[in-house]
Amino acid sequence: MTDIERNSLAELLFPNITATREEIESKYPERTLTEGAKVTRFAPSPTGFMHVGNLESAFLDYIFAKQSNGVFYLRLEDTDQERYVEGASSLVKESLETFSIIPTEGAFAGGAYGPYIQSERKEIYQTYIKDLIKQGLAYPCFMTKEELQEIREGQELRKEAIGIYGHYAVDRDLSLEEIKAHLEKNDDYVIRIRSNGDLNKQVVLHDLIKGDITLPENIIDEVIMKKDGLPTYHFAHVIDDHLMHTTVVIRGDEWIPSYPKHLQFCQMLGFKMWKYAHYAPLTKKENGNTRKLSKRKDPEFSVSYYKEAGIPSEGVKLFLSTIINTNFEEWYLQNPDKSYLDFPFSFKKMPTGGTLFDTEKLNNICRTYFSRLKAQTIYEDSLKYYEEYDPDFFQVMTKNKDRLISFLDIERSGKRPRKDIATYNDVKLESLYMFDEYFYKDKEDTYKEISRNVDTDILTKYMAIYDENDTNDEWYTKIQNLAIENNYAPSTKEYKANPENYKGHIGDICEQVRHAITGKKETPNLYNILKILGKEEVTRRIQFFIS
RNA sequence: GGCGAGUUGGUGAAGUGGCUUAACACACUGCCCUUUCACGGCAGCAUUCACGGAUUCGAAUUCCGUACUCGUCACCA
């Protein structure tokens, strides 16, 4: 085709595209940023699902931009109309908000480099495609699904590389007349790149996480525009990250094999390329095998699941931080008061293999997280949670605010705080017995945890001597006396020395009281619980128990 | 099948030629502390880094081969 023919082909294909590349470029000027500032983007497809893998991706974009005083923006990659899901973009927004990973620019925040929704950028992509056609670097391809299928099967049979390249690219050299004929018949077509790659030549990806990776050049005449006029991911990615001036593309390592395509596109378009950081996916163990987390198969990894289960978003981020750089954990242990943003995250220290998503570890991190919070904070945060997920308990919390806070405050201050809470859900489970509404339900149910023999005599005596005004020491001395008078050892040590001399030891008495008062085997410090409940309530509960 | 990546304990992993008889953390086990449980403290938990070979005075760390696992080869991203 001659220059003139290519020009008329471009006009034929894109009569409505009047802008030039230069005009578009001028609307996306270089960003003015300080040296070393990173521009990152979170670019999900709104398919109606966000899982921890997506979250990790967004978190990485966020921290690296933030720590370098750069820009973190959000772009919605919705070029696949068939997978479009109603409300999916607001799910993305909400998910990021619940984890406080907020892009300062993009689909919801706006900004100077938009639009940030790919389906709204159709003309931009087509402007570049039109230009490529004029230069003879792209061409329309009218092959049908059946033809493609046939070629593919043949290639598989002959163990050749799969795809449209070389002599398989039959529409590469269609004449203008032939194309016109197709167009007149209204035949569907896509636009393919005219690949200039050589399978025997190699390109090197200088990956920020994995180091240098050598790959063969792209020889495939990749589709850059689908029959509906929208670009494919590969093309949209290159155009957008160029125009929006991304400096580091952080994405899952499943994209590594397509790097040569992206490089090729950049070269053909004359773009200066950004850097890449390909991270290993989060994996899960199943039947002894490890595999990548899947949206469809693993609902327990969905972001909404975490919210519903009451797992604190800060805990999840702390967990993600330890996955991203394992040395984070040690650092955080030494700097418990600092934010994860103070930690110098590095691409080089990221794991290169798949990382197992260990829920056990997440749990532990959350426990520690809660153990460092003030009672008041736990109260307020869980109030929000219960307002949404458990209105009954929300009512109880509101009604008994002071009591709950005093309870949560037990053994919280000091160097060795309790670690009995890992989720907002635990706040209810651990404090239920403090509230009459839940305590006096059904006696069987209240005391279902208790299996050992009950000494009603000692409980009756205890009920008589309990005084809510006693100090901790006075309280303890009273129990010791009670123990001695009733043939219990006043300390565990004495009991252990001569167990046959005693009915039990002081701990057994405490346990009896604990059971009667709370129905539980494990609680925070008993003295404090009794004090919060008060003499009257303590008496009533013991009577309830022994009656 | 082609291409690419990965392979250190129950788990996440540190480690880039001698400081490693393999850090740290989670889990597990035991002991101690303690008014029970928890918390906390101490100790134990891979003589060994997928396997085979090579280089070297010396290798988890370099090289070659094998195996296995994962990813990818769409008008999906």
Q: Which nucleotide is nearest to A83 (CA to C1')?
A: B76
CB neighbours of A117 closer than 8 A, spacing ≥ 6? A75, A76, A78, A89, A107
Q: Is the CB of A474 under 7 A from strand B?
A: no
Strand B contacts in A 53-92 (CB under 7 A): 77, 79-80, 82-83
Q: What residues pair up with A286 in beta bridges, in sequence order?
A: A289
Secondary structure letter of residue A480 according to DSSP: H
Strand ranges (E), A306-408? 355-356
Q: Which nucleotide is nearest to A416 (CA to C1')?
A: B39
d(CA A231, CA A237): 9
Strand B contacts in A 274-313 (CB under 7 A): 280-281, 289-292
CB neighbours of A147 closer than 8 A, spacing ≥ 6? none
Q: Which nucleotide is nearest to A143 (CA to C1')?
A: B75
d(CA A260, CA A275): 13
Strand ranges (E), A98-187? 105-106, 138-141
pLDDT at A281: 82
Q: Which amino acid is at A331?
A: W
Question: ipTM beyond 0.95?
Answer: no
Domains of chain A: 3-24+122-279 (3.40.50.620), 288-371 (1.10.1160.10), 373-425 (no CATH), 440-547 (1.10.10.350)
Contact A165, A195 (CB under 8 A): yes
Task: Check the CA dihedral A295-A296-A297-A300 and report its sign.
Answer: positive
Q: Is the CB of A372 under 7 A from strand B?
A: no
pLDDT at A412: 84
CA torsion, points A485, A489, A491, A495, in degrees to nearest 10? 170
Q: Which nucleotide is nearest to A257 (CA to C1')?
A: B72
Q: Following DSSP, what letter does each residue of A233-283 receive, concatenated?
A: HHHHHHHHHHHTT-SEEEEEGGGGGGHHHHHHHHHHHTPPP-EEEEEPPEE
Q: Is the CB of A253 under 7 A from strand B?
A: yes
Q: Which nucleotide is nearest to A147 (CA to C1')?
A: B75
Protein CA A15 to sugar C1' B15 (Å)? 61
**pLDDT tens column, A179-190:** 999 999 999 999
pLDDT at A545: 86
Q: Is the CB of A511 under 7 A from strand B?
A: yes
**pLDDT tens column, A315-329:** 999 999 988 988 888
Distance separating the N- and C-terminal Cα atoms of chain A:
100
d(CA A237, CA A341): 28
CB neighbours of A457 closer than 8 A, spacing ≥ 6? A486
Q: Is A37 left (phi over 0), alpha (psi -120 to 50) or beta?
A: beta
- Among residues A351, A356, A298, A294, which one has the least CA distance to residue A325? A351
Q: Which nucleotide is nearest to A288 (CA to C1')?
A: B69
pLDDT at A401: 93
d(CA A221, CA A261): 10
Protein CA A280 to sugar C1' B71 (Å)? 10
What is the maximal distance between C-alpha atoms in chain A? 111
Q: Is the CB of A48 under 7 A from strand B?
A: no
pLDDT at A424: 93
Protein CA A343 to sugar C1' B20 (Å)? 27
d(CA A119, CA A263): 23
Q: DSSP 3-state assignment of A248? A: strand
Q: DSSP 3-state assignment of A521? A: coil
pLDDT at A128: 97
The residue count of chain A comes to 547
Q: Is the CB of A348 under 7 A from strand B?
A: yes
Q: Is the CB of A470 under 7 A from strand B?
A: no
d(CA A486, CA A212): 77
Q: Is the CB of A248 under 7 A from strand B?
A: no
**pLDDT tens column, A264-277:** 999 999 999 999 99
Contact A508, A524 (CB under 8 A): no
| Tokens, residue A498 | 């001569």
User: Which chain B nucleotides are covered by protein, judged by CB under 7 A?
Assistant: 1-8, 10-16, 23-27, 33-40, 69-77
Q: Following DSSP, what letter does each residue of A55-71 receive, concatenated?
A: HHHHHHHHHHHHHTT-E
d(CA A422, CA A510): 26
Q: Is the CB of A117 under 7 A from strand B?
A: no
pLDDT at A275: 95
Q: Is the CB of A185 under 7 A from strand B?
A: no
Nearest residue to B1 (CA, C1')? A159
Cis peptide leading into residue A115 (ω within 30°)? yes
User: pTM to 2 decimals?
Assistant: 0.90
d(CA A41, CA A119): 17
d(CA A201, CA A98): 47
Q: What angle do CA A359, A360, A363 make, to 5 degrees?
A: 85
Strand B contacts in A 192-211 (CB under 7 A): 210-211
Secondary structure letter of residue A73 according to DSSP: E
Protein CA A408 to sugar C1' B49 (Å)? 46
d(CA A372, CA A258): 45
Q: Is the CB of A227 under 7 A from strand B?
A: yes
Q: Which amino acid is at A339?
A: S
Strand ranges (E), A113-247? 138-141, 190-193, 202-207, 211-216, 223-225
Question: Which ranges of chain A have pLDDT less than 50?
Answer: none
CA torsion, points A266, A271, A272, A275, in degrees to nearest 10? -40
Q: Which nucleotide is nearest to A523 (CA to C1')?
A: B37
pLDDT at A523: 85
| Tokens, residue A334 | 């030494």
